Amino acid sequence: MTRLTGEALDDAAIESFLETQSVGTLSLAKGNESYAIPVSFTFDPDDRDVYFRLGYAPGSRKREFIDATERATFVVAAETEAGWKSVLARGEPEHRSTVDDLDTHRPSDRSVSQAEREMEIPFYHVFDAPADAVFALVRLQADELTGVVEADGR
């Protein structure tokens, strides 16, 4: 009987995995409430940050939760040839700009990196976005990045 265990991924394996994935789950919190959403993302290996394009409709709970969250958790998991892999990123979410105009809508320090200008974040639609939805680029400043892969623990 084979017993599966987990084996930690090193930094190179974490980066390689994140660069091949496009969807994960972003978990946010406000007081005693939690809120988790599937989101598309891109990973910047230079800064080790994760970027999302989030849509906010008027009265959006997502916007309410992301504004209240000081430390978010983002999880990406997939079945691979080596077995199940997952990566967990934790850090502070930060609005960077609206997606439509990176030159006009910048963070308070007015910086927009070249990586942000070239983001290729896949669109992930659960339902049609309302016409008055606003899309924003959000960065998760990952101060913790860990990963695990299934291993044969015979």
**Domains (ranges, CATH) in the chain?**
4-152 (2.30.110.10)
DSSP-derived pairing of the beta strands 72-80 and 83-98: antiparallel
- pLDDT of 124-138, one tens digit each? 444 455 556 677 888
User: What pLDDT, on a 0 to 100 scale, did the predictor assign at position 152?
Assistant: 64
- pLDDT of 63-76, one tens digit each? 889 889 999 999 99
User: What pLDDT, on a 0 to 100 scale, did the predictor assign at position 110?
Assistant: 47
Q: SS3 of 65, please?
A: helix
Q: What does pTM read for this prediction?
A: 0.77
- pLDDT of 54-111, one tens digit each? 877 777 888 889 889 999 999 999 998 878 999 999 999 988 775 544 344 444 454 5
Q: Which residue type occupies 28?
A: L
Return the C-alpha torsion angle 63, 68, 71, 72, nearest 10: -30
Residues in the chain: 154
